[in-house]
Amino acid sequence: MADKKILVAEDESIVGLHIADSLRKLGYAVPAVVASGEEAVRKSGELRPDLILMDIVLKGDMDGIEAAGLIRSRFNIPVIYLTAYGDDETLRRAKITEPLGYILKPFKERELHTAIEIALYRHEMETKLKKMERWLATTLRSIGDAVIAADENINITFMNKTAEDMTGWKQEDAIGKKLTEVFNIKGEETRTVEWVLANKVLKEGVIINLAEDSLLITRDSKEIPISDSAAPIKEEHGIPGIVIVFRDITDRKQLEEALIFRDCHDSLTGLPNRGLFIDRLSLKIADAHRNNRQLAVLFLDLDRFKRINDTLGHFVGDMLLKKVSEKIRTCIRESDTIARIGGDEFSILLPDIGNAVDAGVSAEKILATFETPYRINGHELNISTSIGISMYPDDGLHFEELMKNADIAMYQAKEKGRNNYQFYDPAVNVRTLELIALENMLRQAIKRDELLVYYQPLADISMQRVIGAEALVRWRHPELGLLDPMRFLPLAEETGFIKSIDSFVLRTACGQNRTWQQAGLSPISVSVNFSAMQFQRPDLEEMVTQVLSESSLGPEYLCVEITENVAMRDIEMTLPNVTRLKGLGIGLSIDDFGTGYSSLSCLRKFPIKKLKIDKSFVRDIADPDNKAIIGAIIAMAHNLKLKTLAEGVEDMEQIEFLRSLGCDEIQGYLFSRPLPADEFKEMMTRA
């Protein structure tokens, strides 16, 4: 208490001293007793007392009330009046200065003490409150959320800076206005908003969102997406107002939209993804059902896309996918949907289509755009696509069925040689499903030891001597039995699995040949077939070298067969690898010769030893055309110092013809079918 300083202003010096004395006794410090109003103001400034006991009648020109007014406003020091005047006029004047006490003389010491303590306490509280108010005001002004307060009539009483910025209203213009005029929500009836505020917030005292994802209309008619809440200002006896807090959610909205877009679109092509496609398809199915219309689902799979990806890299593959999707988009209407379903798979939805023929026309248009090659990173890429079509309602009533059947039809298109479209045909469905199952099983085949190699002897034309063996792959399928390569190789080529198959056959055949040699059979060369993909491997030479050394087989006992089509189609691609293989000392044959259209000059570039004449010519060798072709091939080959072998020789008549034409070697059922390794060995020992 002793640290509380009290200034006494009293014109009667004896009274003043007496008061000061009593105060000191009560434990207060009294730094001065002044007699005039002017002095009271001056000393207050100098001494900064905690309280002033102020007489109203003072010496000088300024009375106590005037002095108190100045002191309050300048120094915020609380005042208690000590006076002999209690008339109305004096009281009225005194009240304006907000005194913390008014004591009429004469008074008791005890009364003074209580009045001082209460005044000091109240002043402390008020100071704290004011500070808090200032803090609150500053906080409200500076927070990022917009705040608008309104009274119980929903008229605005306060707006913070953010609210001003967002609504375009200044607080001074807004105060007293109806809240709904400033806080204008699009699509919400003013009446409704007011009703909600009056009944829910003001009456029931609940916090509510005025509208989910509302749009605020600013004073200059702009629209801002906001999220908001309106809360009651609660006091002990009721709810005198509401406060609305809202914030600009443009960024969040944009992010949400971006996220939603990302969730339903493929990041590479920007096309809708599978999920969005299914959504749209379901909607359009419902439309078609209502209006008794048809719709078409097209399923596209790029042909041999994997090859491009594997050989030229993912970057080129990605660019190609982008360009392809852009091109397809130009073939379809705005109302159609194209989606990327998987790696190189696309789905197209043609809603509201007249009939199946129209879907066929669209498919043809798409196929036609693939005729022009794509230029990417300096590569000229030729790619085609296979398309399957299913129709609502004929081929399915639900999206799953329609998509599955379009997929099956796509497989049928692949089977028909790719680069074409097929309508879903339930009749071939079963076979296609088998094909799909096959693909899945093929992946497991090597691991499960289901792949085997058969060997078919190659003999000289006199059929006296076996001069080699061709390794031919077989798949012992657990349910379908022994499958010929034609049943699964096209599929393996499509999926890229062919590389593993070829390597497996190479390894097995080399190992087998070495085993035969070690068993004392007269050494022969073993031929293996390499697919196109094999020749695109950058590590082909390395791989073959390794297999040879693992099996300790001399390179002269290995021959690689490359079909005419593969060899000639991509000479730049295949030739370097073929040349490297030749460098290893391996033999090279051109397989299925005559089916392609290779020119002599091209053939010359290849370091080959042998041409294998395709069995289709041999089959109908009696046909004069075929005879002429075989004759020409043999003559040409001999010119180039190449040996010739006729494939598919099944009877003696063919042998006679071939011998007369000068053919060197034969392969065919007449001499022997392809045999398992042990039977091949038996045959060799018999011979």
**Residues lying near ligand C2E in the complex (CB under 6 A):** 456, 472-473, 484-486, 489, 498, 501-502, 505, 529-531, 561, 591-592, 615, 647-650, 667-669, 674
Q: Which does 304 bind (CB under 5 to 8 A by kind): ligand C2E, Mg ion, none?
A: none
Q: Which is nearer to ligand C2E, 486 or 600 (CB)?
A: 486
591 is a contact residue toward Mg ion (CB under 5 A): yes
Q: Which does 473 bind (CB under 5 to 8 A by kind): ligand C2E, Mg ion, none?
A: ligand C2E
Q: Which does 309 bind (CB under 5 to 8 A by kind): ligand C2E, Mg ion, none?
A: none
Q: Which is nearer to ligand C2E, 78 or 648 (CB)?
A: 648
What is the Cα–Cα distance from 49 to 52, expressed in whole angstroms? 7
Site pattern 610..649 for Mg ion (x: CB under 5 A):
-------------------------------------x--
CB of 496 to Mg ion, least distance (A): 20
- Classify residue 527 by burial, with Cβ atoms within 10 Å: 0-12, 13-18, 19+: buried
CB of 667 to Mg ion, least distance (A): 8
Q: Which does 668 bind (CB under 5 to 8 A by kind): Mg ion, ligand C2E, none?
A: ligand C2E
- Classify residue 408 by burial, with Cβ atoms within 10 Å: 0-12, 13-18, 19+: buried
CB of 543 to ligand C2E, least distance (A): 14
525-529 vs 558-563, strand pairing mode: parallel
Q: Which is nearer to Mg ion, 90 or 529 (CB)?
A: 529
SS3 content of the chain, % helix, strand, coil (to 5): 50, 25, 25
The strand pairing partners of 338, in sequence order, are: 348
Other Cβ atoms less than 10 A from the Cβ of 355: the count is: 10
CB of 385 to ligand C2E, least distance (A): 24
- Strand, helix or coil for residue 237: coil
Q: Which is nearer to Mg ion, 295 or 586 (CB)?
A: 586
What is the Cα–Cα distance from 41 to 423, expressed in whole angstroms? 103
- What the block records as the tokens of 238 is 């009721």
CB of 433 to ligand C2E, least distance (A): 23
Beta carbons within 8 Å of 121's beta carbon, 6+ residues apart: none
CB of 643 to Mg ion, least distance (A): 15
512 is a contact residue toward Mg ion (CB under 5 A): no
Q: Which is nearer to Mg ion, 266 or 502 (CB)?
A: 502
Helices 498-518 + 485-495 axis angle, to 10: 130
- Torsion-angle region of 294 (φ positive above 0: left; ψ -120 to 50: alpha; else: beta): beta
Q: Are the C-beta atoms of 27 and 50 separated by less than 8 Å? A: no
Q: Which is nearer to ligand C2E, 23 or 506 (CB)?
A: 506
CB of 327 to ligand C2E, least distance (A): 32
> For 329-336, which contacts have Cβ atoms below 8 Å and span 24 or more sequence positions?
330/369, 331/362, 331/365, 331/366, 331/369, 332/362
Q: Which is nearer to Mg ion, 503 or 529 (CB)?
A: 529
DSSP tally for the chain: helices H, then strands E: 27, 28
- What the block records as the tokens of 472 is 């031919």
Q: Which does 485 bind (CB under 5 to 8 A by kind): Mg ion, ligand C2E, none?
A: ligand C2E
What is the Cα–Cα distance from 234 to 394, expressed in whole angstroms? 66
Q: Which is nearer to ligand C2E, 296 or 566 (CB)?
A: 566
Q: Which does 347 bind (CB under 5 to 8 A by kind): Mg ion, ligand C2E, none?
A: none
CB of 561 to Mg ion, least distance (A): 4
Q: Which does 248 bind (CB under 5 to 8 A by kind): Mg ion, ligand C2E, none?
A: none
Q: How far is CA 48 from CA 23, 39, 51, 63, in A?
A: 17, 13, 9, 20
CB of 487 to ligand C2E, least distance (A): 9
What is the Cα–Cα distance from 419 to 405, expressed in whole angstroms? 18
Site pattern 271..310 for Mg ion (x: CB under 5 A):
----------------------------------------
592 is a contact residue toward Mg ion (CB under 5 A): yes
184-185 vs 610-613, strand pairing mode: unpaired
CB of 621 to ligand C2E, least distance (A): 12
502 is a contact residue toward Mg ion (CB under 5 A): no
> For 141-147, which contacts have Cβ atoms below 8 Å and span 24 or more sequence positions?
144/247, 145/245, 145/246, 145/247, 146/245, 146/246, 146/247, 146/248, 147/243, 147/244, 147/245
- What the block records as the tokens of 78 is 């609380």
Candidates 95-103, 147-155, 187-195, 591-599 — which segment interacts with Mg ion by CB under 5 A? 591-599
Candidates 344-352, 390-398, 528-536, 649-657 — which segment interacts with Mg ion by CB under 5 A? 528-536
Q: Which is nearer to ligand C2E, 2 or 486 (CB)?
A: 486
Candidates 187-195, 227-235, 289-297, 521-529 — which segment interacts with Mg ion by CB under 5 A? 521-529
466-477 vs 451-460, strand pairing mode: antiparallel
CB of 472 to Mg ion, least distance (A): 7
The number of residues that bind Mg ion (CB under 5 A) is 5
Q: How far is CA 655 from CA 526, 620, 647, in A?
A: 23, 12, 11
Q: Are the C-beta atoms of 547 and 506 separated by less than 8 Å? A: yes
What is the Cα–Cα distance from 350 to 335, expressed in whole angstroms? 8
Q: Which is nearer to ligand C2E, 319 or 562 (CB)?
A: 562
Q: What residues numbered 556-575 form the site for Mg ion, per CB under 5 A?
A: 561
Segment holding 649, helix H or strand E: none
Q: Which does 489 bind (CB under 5 to 8 A by kind): Mg ion, ligand C2E, none?
A: ligand C2E
Judged by CB under 5 A, which of 97, 273, 529, 531 binds Mg ion? 529
Q: Which does 184 bind (CB under 5 to 8 A by kind): Mg ion, ligand C2E, none?
A: none
Q: Are the C-beta atoms of 397 and 284 separated by less than 8 Å? A: no
665 is a contact residue toward Mg ion (CB under 5 A): no
CB of 471 to ligand C2E, least distance (A): 6
Site residues, Mg ion (CB under 5 A): 529, 561, 591-592, 647
